[in-house]
Structure 1
Amino acid sequence: MIELSGTMTVGDVVALADGHAAVSLPREVVDAVDRVHDGAAELSTRHATYGRTTGVGANRMAAIPTDDRDFGMRLLRSHSVDAGDPLCARTVRSMIAVRLIQLCVPGAGLDPAILTGLERMLNDDALPEVLQYASIGTGDLAALAGTALTLIGERPASAALTPMPPWGADSALPFMSSSALTVGRSCLAVDELNRLERASSVIYMLSFLALDGNPSTFSPVAARSAAAPHVDTVASRLRSLFADDRTERPPARIQDPYGLRVYPVAHASVVASLDSLVAQLERTMNSAQENPLFDVDGDQVIHHGAFYQAALSLELDGATLALALTAPITHSRIRMLNDPETNGGNAFLAADSDGSSGLMMVEYVAAGAIAEIRNAAQPASVGTLVLSRGAEEDATFASQGVLQLERSVAAYRVLLCCELVGAVRLLRQRGIVERFGGVLGRALAIAADLPRDEEDRDLRGDLATAETVLDELGRLIAAPPR
């Protein structure tokens, strides 16, 4: 059971998205939201309030008659437009989890019954259908409007769900005023990427030892000299893995190629960007960002731009760019594994040297994955759109940024699979698999199902097998401290 406290984490969102935990609302949270709801109702009788006493977007100057009881429902219906394929249930649960976490921080002024409705939706797994293409810019309006219509019973849920009464203007806009889908998807992406970056270090070390790399590259002195965040985190991790080699052997080279030599520095950029992205996500989900906000104690309605996700957009771009920076040196190691000048055997780790292709095409697959990562690394934050007859003259494109990060993560998985297949094959060819203990020994045991047949054949199954073990390899290494 996860009790919402106002200090929730990416891990909490992932657990709720995966259905590994139920959610509960403390009484004091509901009471605090109820207090602001009552205060907002009174404040709105004395102050013009966007989305309550006025229209929205380009209609913000239009006054809403006090006897218009249907305005809230019209707002939800008109904003619920989306298109394309449905998003998966896990992604939808992440959105609901984030929106519920956000609403536990009082400020939106909506009816607290909506919190209990979202709680039921999550715990009963009675989900709305959310489609692929929707709003971009000021929030995930369409996805959340559709969620509201599902709570009210105007749209079907994926399981039985007792419908709520129709919502008024006190709740319609405040509920939609969020980037909960973008934040939820970002939580899932960063959780997966955190595992993959740790798996990368395990796979790197398998390649490093298979290629007799020079350990000075991750020495404490080298790490200090890098003068960049988290290089020592990565170097310390690599030194620990290197110690799992129970034999003494001299390095093959005084100075290794970049694929081995600059990994601690390049990979530290991924660790640093993920650390920063997690911090921004957790600040965002634990803040009241709805427009307007109701400062009941200060007796004021605050119209603002805090919902403008510039920081999140930049952090998403940063994570994608960090992957694009480190991907080529992964490909460099794959080339080294395939090169007889560095692997000490046959070209492409083939079974014989008479023109066999071996792992040649694995290198090409890796190149295709890098092309996808590079394509996705075009910063989404430089995009802009003018919406609603000029009332919203810019959009942060954070929702596009997370789509690009998802594409990069998927391609990064493929890239790591390609390196793992080559590293394990070279270790087996050299007959040194048994000399490793500790984490590396466990890693090789996890990867033991990789096919041993080295004749030229269809290698699709090798990559598929490698993909199934990546997350388990990542769990062998503890997450770096925040």
Structure 2
Amino acid sequence: MVVLNGQTLNFSEVHRILYHGDKVTYSEESMRKVQESRRAVEKIVAEERIVYGITTGFGKFSDVFIDKDDVGALQLNLIRSHACGVGDPFPEVVSRAMTLLRANALLKGFSGVRPVVIERLLDLVNAHIHPVIPQQGSLGASGDLAPLSHLALVLLGEGEVFYKGARIPAKEALAQEGIEPISLTAKEGLALINGTQAMTAMGVVAYLEAEKLAYQAEHIASLTIESLQGIIDAFDEDIHLARGYREQVEVAERIRNLLSDSNLTTKQGEIRVQDAYSLRCIPQVHGATWQAMNYVKEKLLIEMNAATDNPLIFDNGDKVLSGGNFHGQPIAFAMDFLAIAIAELANISERRIERLVNPQLNDLPPFLSPEPGLQSGAMIMQYVAASLVSENKTLAHPASVDSIPSSANQEDHVSMGTIGSRHAYQVITNTRRVLAIEAICSMQAVEFRGKEKMAAATREFLENGRNVVPNIFEDRVFSTDIEAMNKWLKDGDFSF
């Protein structure tokens, strides 16, 4: 059971909730703050004070006063009108993360919602009811308004959900779990949608997959080093300490450990004096990716525990402040950075694939073919890797450098952070397939060298990998192999 308090949610807890189905609840102290904040909202309504989003309209309508008898209708209209997302839905795991993160943000006690709103969000998480949330339609400022509105609809018994493997009306899933829909009151609709939880949820899922993939990239690269009889001296600790980047030093250390008992690596001058950059510079390139990922992780950790709606309520309602914490710029930058960093793992991997299949660059059979000429072997797999790398280059164009004004120019600068997070996730998906191709090629190549000469760690990878993709004895539909390896890398519970 993970206890949320709006302050301390971490990646380990999120991973357990998203991928292992851990239950969630709230701390009593955090709920006490929620209740205090709620009392402040009710007082504002009773006194008919003019406070944005509580007794006024939204966006350009912020100057329109709303009678206290209409504040509930105001919130309902907000959710329905803003639920206009389009495109394919977010993956279920992202919807689950979004619901979790919205509850955690509200538990900080600055948003003025009733406890029942948070309880219902946690009910969805614990019952594995995941709102169907279209991916497109958020500008990443004023919060992820469209995506979060689709989430909020489910609390009202409206919209659709993923539940027990099916896409069904929300009211049916709630009824099956005995969960009562709620009716929104003052401030609650705005509190539910005025936040960065769509981009952050997508970012968290992307980061967790990227972290796993970065470790896998080192393991697959080690297999390629053996396949090409790479020079191990390039990974000597003194080289990397001399530069001083911690992540670079750590990558080199992990490669050395993986290959410590290999009889397929060489010393400088033994076969050649220097390897190509795609082998020799693995610590420098992969290490730089880890630097970027550490930055991304830091920003996501802050945002997972951030109050991002507007207005925020302080001092028991004596101070109600309109601000801009919903602006997604910090996460927009982080997501663009993540896309660029992971794209480079694919970029350098594709160059290693070329060295594995190009007979002008190695002494292996051309294109690792069992019968060069008659059979093409891995020739077109390299084409696929090159295509994915090229696609990544377009996806890595920063979304955060764009902004289009909205709400009659009241909201005149936005982050596009949700677009950035979606692009980062697609880059990760593409990169995994590139690494799957490198794994297939390096497994084939290293067997020409002799698996008995391999390091224990890489030989274990090879033996397990052969249960996923068999040896290439003749040409076949390699798309099936790439997808099988891709699935193994994504879903496998092995660790490096």
Provide TM-score, normalisation by structure 2. Answer: 0.90
Shift of 1:299: 2.4
Deviation per residue, 1:33-56 (Å, 9 max, x gap): 111211343356485311012111
Deviation per residue, 1:255-309 (Å, 9 max, x gap): 1111101111111122111211111111011121211111125821111112211
Change (3 A) 1:78 1:254: same
Shift of 1:223: 1.2
Instruction: Decide which of 320, 324, 328 is 2:347's aligned counterpart.
Output: 328
- Counterpart residue number, 2:98: 95
Instruction: Decide which of 54, 76, 87 is 1:84's aligned counterpart.
Output: 87
- Counterpart residue number, 1:56: 58
Shift of 1:355: 5.8
Answer with 109-118 or 451-460: which moved more: 451-460
- Counterpart residue number, 1:237: 254
Instruction: Decide which of 215, 235, 250 is 1:198's aligned counterpart.
Output: 215
- Counterpart residue number, 1:412: 431
Q: Secondary structure at the match of 2:206?
A: helix
For these two proteins, the number of residue pairs brought into alignment is 476
- Counterpart residue number, 1:150: 154
Q: Give the Cα–Cα distance (whole angstroms) in 1 for the partners of residues 471 and 297 of structure 2.
A: 39
Counterpart code for 2:300: L
- Counterpart residue number, 1:110: 113
Shift of 1:247: 6.8
1:197-236 → structure 2 map (5 Å cutoff): 197-236=214-253
Q: Give the Cα–Cα distance (whole angstroms) in 1 for the partners of residues 360 and 243 of structure 2.
A: 29
Q: Secondary structure at the match of 1:322?
A: helix
Q: Give the Cα–Cα distance (whole angstroms) in 1 for the partners of residues 352 and 107 of structure 2.
A: 48
Shift of 1:437: 4.5
Answer with 180-189 or 36-45: which moved more: 36-45
Shift of 1:170: 2.6
- Counterpart residue number, 2:164: none
Q: Secondary structure at the match of 1:3?
A: strand
Q: Give the Cα–Cα distance (whole angstroms) in 2 for the partners of residues 471 and 81 of structure 1.
A: 32
Given the alignment of the two structures, is residue 120 of structure 1 paired with residue 134 of structure 2, yes or no? no
- Counterpart residue number, 1:18: 19
Shift of 1:368: 0.9
Deviation per residue, 1:357-380 (Å, 9 max, x gap): 221111101101101111101100
Q: Give the Cα–Cα distance (whole angstroms) in 1 for the partners of residues 325 and 265 of structure 2.
A: 57
Deviation per residue, 1:128-163 (Å, 9 max, x gap): 322233332321212222332321224431613433
- Counterpart residue number, 1:447: 465
Deviation per residue, 1:420-475 (Å, 9 max, x gap): 111111111122x1233443232122112222233333322322332233247784
Q: Give the Cα–Cα distance (whole angstroms) in 2 for the partners of residues 132 and 310 of structure 1.
A: 18
Shift of 1:89: 2.5
Q: Give the Cα–Cα distance (whole angstroms) in 1 for the partners of residues 373 and 184 of structure 2.
A: 74
Counterpart code for 2:40: G
Tell whether the 8 Å contact from 1:446 to 1:469 is kept in structure 2 after alignment.
no
Tell whether the 8 Å contact from 1:246 to 1:436 is kept in structure 2 after alignment.
yes
Counterpart code for 1:149: L
Shift of 1:316: 0.6
Shift of 1:198: 0.4
Tell whether the 8 Å contact from 1:33 to 1:112 is kept in structure 2 after alignment.
yes
Tell whether the 8 Å contact from 2:40 to 2:317 is kept in structure 1 after alignment.
no
Tell whether the 8 Å contact from 1:43 to 1:300 is kept in structure 2 after alignment.
no
Counterpart code for 1:119: L
Q: Give the Cα–Cα distance (whole angstroms) in 1 for the partners of residues 89 and 377 of structure 2.
A: 40
Q: Give the Cα–Cα distance (whole angstroms) in 2 for the partners of residues 348 and 54 of structure 1.
A: 67
- Counterpart residue number, 1:392: 411
- Counterpart residue number, 1:159: 173
Structure 1 unpaired stretches of 5+: 478-482
- Counterpart residue number, 1:182: 199
Answer with 193-202 or 290-299: which moved more: 290-299
Change (3 A) 1:344 1:94: same
Q: Secondary structure at the match of 1:388?
A: coil
Change (3 A) 1:248 1:107: closer
Given the alignment of the two structures, is residue 66 of structure 1 paired with residue 83 of structure 2, yes or no? no
Tell whether the 8 Å contact from 2:199 to 2:331 is kept in structure 1 after alignment.
no
- Counterpart residue number, 1:253: 272
- Counterpart residue number, 2:137: 134
Counterpart code for 1:258: Y
Q: Give the Cα–Cα distance (whole angstroms) in 2 for the partners of residues 84 and 280 of structure 1.
A: 27
Tell whether the 8 Å contact from 1:107 to 1:295 is kept in structure 2 after alignment.
yes
Q: Secondary structure at the match of 1:17?
A: helix
Shift of 1:171: 1.2
Counterpart code for 2:453: R
Shift of 1:353: 4.0
Tell whether the 8 Å contact from 1:50 to 1:60 is kept in structure 2 after alignment.
yes
Q: Secondary structure at the match of 1:222?
A: helix
- Counterpart residue number, 1:421: 440
Shift of 1:234: 0.8
Q: Give the Cα–Cα distance (whole angstroms) in 2 for the partners of residues 358 and 181 of structure 1.
A: 43
Answer with 252-261 or 75-84: which moved more: 75-84
Structure 2 unpaired stretches of 5+: 160-168
Q: Secondary structure at the match of 2:130?
A: coil
Counterpart code for 1:143: P
Tell whether the 8 Å contact from 1:229 to 1:269 is kept in structure 2 after alignment.
no
Tell whether the 8 Å contact from 2:226 to 2:454 is kept in structure 1 after alignment.
no
Deviation per residue, 1:31-79 (Å, 9 max, x gap): 2211121134335648531101211101111111233242222222222
Q: Give the Cα–Cα distance (whole angstroms) in 1 for the partners of residues 333 and 227 of structure 2.
A: 38
Change (3 A) 1:151 1:215: same
- Counterpart residue number, 1:480: none
- Counterpart residue number, 1:402: 421
Provide TM-score, normalisation by structure 1. Answer: 0.93
Counterpart code for 1:181: A
